Structure formats: C-alpha cells, structure tokens
Amino acid sequence: LTDIVPPERRRQMMAGIHSENTAPEVAVRQWLYRNGFRYRLHVCTLPGTPDIVISRRRVIVLVHGCFWHRHSGCRLAYTPKSNCDFWLSKFAANVKRDRSEVRLLQSTGWRVVLVWECEVRDGSFGDRLRKELCQNE
C-alpha cells in the first residue's frame, strides 16, 4: 500500500477521499462500453457523485475497493496491524457513508449495483453485471 502509489493518490487514500478513475473502475467502464452499455461518469448532481450512471436503465454502478469499503469476508479487506483505532474509525466512517449514499440513491428511484475490486480482478463481475442490467428486458 505504500511505494507503488503515486503521492497524490496516496494522499487521497490516506484521507479516505473518494477517488476517481481507479484501475477497477476503468476496467468496469471498458467492459460496459464493449458490451454496448452507455454511461455517464461521476455525476455530481447525484448523491455521492456516483462513478458510473446508466440513465437509460436507471442503474448506478459503484465500483468499490475491497479494503476501503470493507468487502465482508474478502481477503483484501484486511485490517492493518498498527494504528488499529485509526483504521477502524476510518473504515466505520466509510461504511456509514456508503450506506447513506446507497439509501439516498435508492430513495430517488435508482437501482444500485455494487461491483467489488476482487470481482474485477478475477473477472467474475461481468456475468453478474449483465444480469443486473438486463433485468427488465
């Protein structure tokens, strides 16, 4: 988590700031494009400025890093051994913010699909995403 991360990105990560254009997010966008789903990015008029918005299907895709967003039961969602209190309170705040964003979006009629980083890494997200997007057809 240290040296391979550029300073600006690292600063955002440490602050727990929502960051755009992460590698998993870009991979999901490429998949959507290849499969003919058109989307808008980082729509700041919606709660939490969601990553990927597919207006035509009223679906929002959130691409979540397993570590920051605490993918439950996932090996990527480990807790660092030092500064435990710091991490635990940061994680709790992230999870709380995620929940309220999802609730807000759902309350305005959007379907929210979470894609996890580990699903992008192993390529398994595509089938699930396709099912979610074609649900009403």
Residues found near Zn ion in the complex (CB under 5 A):
66, 71, 74, 76, 116, 118
CB of residue 108 to Zn ion, shortest distance in Å: 27
Integer Cα distance of 83 and 87 in angstroms: 6
CB of residue 55 to Zn ion, shortest distance in Å: 27
Tell me the two tokens of residue 92.
Answer: 């709790």
CB of residue 66 to Zn ion, shortest distance in Å: 3
Nearer to Zn ion, 7 or 73 (CB): 73
Contact indicator for 47, 103 with CB cutoff of 8 Å: no
Alpha-carbon distance values, 59 to 48, 62, 79, 112, 127 (Å): 15, 10, 31, 6, 16
Q: What is the DSSP letter of 126?
A: H
Nearer to Zn ion, 29 or 71 (CB): 71
In DSSP notation, 82-121 reads SSHHHHHHHHHHHHHHHHHHHHHHHHTT-EEEEEEHHHHH
Nearer to Zn ion, 57 or 64 (CB): 64
Nearer to Zn ion, 37 or 116 (CB): 116
CB of residue 120 to Zn ion, shortest distance in Å: 9
